[in-house]
A and B are shown apart, each in its own frame.
Chain A
Amino acid sequence: MNDQDLHNLEQELRAMTPAALTPELLDQCELQLFGANLAAMRPAGLSTDQLDACEHSVIENELHSLAPRALEKSFLDQLEHIPAEVGLMELEPQPLSNEFLDKLADKLENADAPVAIETTEENVIPFPSATQKSPAKNWKWYASAAAVACIGIFTGLTLTNPGTTNSPLAANQAADQFQPISSDNLQNVSTESTFLQAQDRGIVLSNGSNPTHYRAVRVIQMETVTLKNDAGQTIQVQRPVEKTVLMPVEAD
């Protein structure tokens, strides 16, 4: 209904006498006027803030539709153990006994002192005593060495020296004192080992699938072999012997 129609309706209403207006007619007129007023209304435009709010709501809904990436199964398995791990963390290990603590303190205080190595009997190679009589395993070597030594000494003392007098007085004098010993049938009389020196060479590790720790000790001895021939003459031969002794030790 446009403005002209409204105007015409108003004119008709004014021309009508009050007695002619029945309640039904009045309602009809009011409805028509109300409808006309509604039609004349213009919807108000949405403000910028209102538009932004609408868009924000749309964006919120779109964000809600995005699903956060789920936990990987392996990671979930790892996280599942956390309560058990926390339970284990609450367990306290048994405290050290006073006896063990004293032993540790003692070890730390005496850290510079030589460490006593505990080994089983069969693994212990005892240090030789100052004089130890033991049969030489290779005494024949000593016999050979004694024979060569005798020959060498005799030759040195009897041969003339070009720079000296024809008759070497020292050689004659030595020859008087030195009686040559026959090297035939030299027999071992005794063998002695004299301990001279021991040096700690540190800890070594054996090869193999089950390595064992050893303490290496360098031992220097002097072996003295006394030999006697058929004539009852004796000769002593000395030779230094160096050995490396390995002693099993306990290691962490």
Chain B
Amino acid sequence: MSAVSLNSNTETLGWRAWLEVHGSKLLLFARQQTRSEQDAEDIFQEALVKLAKKTAAGEFTGGQDAWIPYLYTQIRREAIDLGRKVDRRDRREQIVVEDQKSLQGTTSDPWFESASDMNERADILKQALQELPDKFSEVVVMKIWGDQTFADIGEALDISINTAASRYRYGLEALRKRLATQRSTGEL
């Protein structure tokens, strides 16, 4: 598939190169939207297939810069569809497994790279982000790592710009309180 150039100032990357640059943050959003690594990869792949089809058919407007907002929107739609398909009983079973994992203090599908110089505070932030309510964490993920505007976030999540901004602030506030709690208990 030939890469589409947005304008003369934007470097057009090949398909694989583009994935190497932007894939991790999109997969992070997919992980946030799903309950397992496998589901995250599935919905990410589905979203990419839809993008490839639209581009190949000449129906996609905008260049590579427009791929990211489109993919955020598509990943969320795929996650919603997947959630409807999964049986309620299976979801309850999976939530039980997730609860057990959180009680053990470990997660089998980490969202972030683990660096050797990562401090304790960073570890608490990672865990706190994964434990945030979905409606807050999805906005934080899109804003921090996706560099999306509140307008883009609102469009992808089908919410108003103000709601997107509010949820972002509430998300950061929840993280701040979590850090404060860790400080007060002496864990940080």
Contacts and interface: CB of A to CB of B under 8 A. Distances in A.
B23 A76 contact: yes
Interface stretch (B14-22, B62-70, B76-84, B92-100): B14-22
A106 interface: no
Interface in A133-149: none
Contact of A56 (B1, B122, B169): B169
Contact of B27 (A67, A68, A80, A86): A68
B173 to A, nearest CB: 7
A143 to B, nearest CB: 78
For the residues of A in contact with B, the DSSP-based class is: helix
Interface string A65-85: 111111100011011101111
A169 interface: no
Contact of B25 (A56, A68, A80): A68
A62 interface: yes
A89 B25 CA distance: 28
B173 A68 contact: no
Contacts of A78: 45
Given A59-B175, A69-B24, A80 B15 contact: yes
Nearest to A80: B16
B19 A71 contact: yes
A86 B24 contact: no
Interface residues on A, range: 20 to 34
Given A56-B176, A86-B1, A86-B52, A76 B16 contact: yes
B1 to A, nearest CB: 3
A67 B110 CA distance: 11
Contact of B48 (A62, A63, A70, A79): A79
A68 B48 contact: no
Interface string A36-78: 0000000000000000100110011011111111110001101
A126 interface: no
A252 interface: no
Interface string B169-187: 1001101100100000000
B28 interface: yes
A128 B41 CA distance: 67
Contact of B112 (A69, A84, A90): A69
Contacts of A75: 41
B19 A80 contact: yes
Contacts of A82: 15, 45, 48-49, 52
A208 interface: no
Nearest to A90: B56
Interface string B4-44: 00000000000110011001110110000000000001001
Contacts of B24: 67-71
Interface centre among B44, B52, B111, B169 (most CB of A within 10 A): B52
Interface of B: 1, 15-16, 19-20, 23-25, 27-28, 41, 44-45, 48-49, 52-53, 56, 110-113, 115, 121-122, 125-126, 129, 140, 144-145, 169, 172-173, 175-176, 179
13 contacts: A56-B169, A59-B172, A62-B125, A63-B129, A63-B140, A63-B144, A68-B25, A69-B24, A69-B111, A71-B19, A75-B41, A76-B23, A83-B15
Question: What 5 pairs between A and B have smallest CB-CB spacing?
Answer: A83-B1, A68-B28, A68-B24, A86-B52, A67-B113
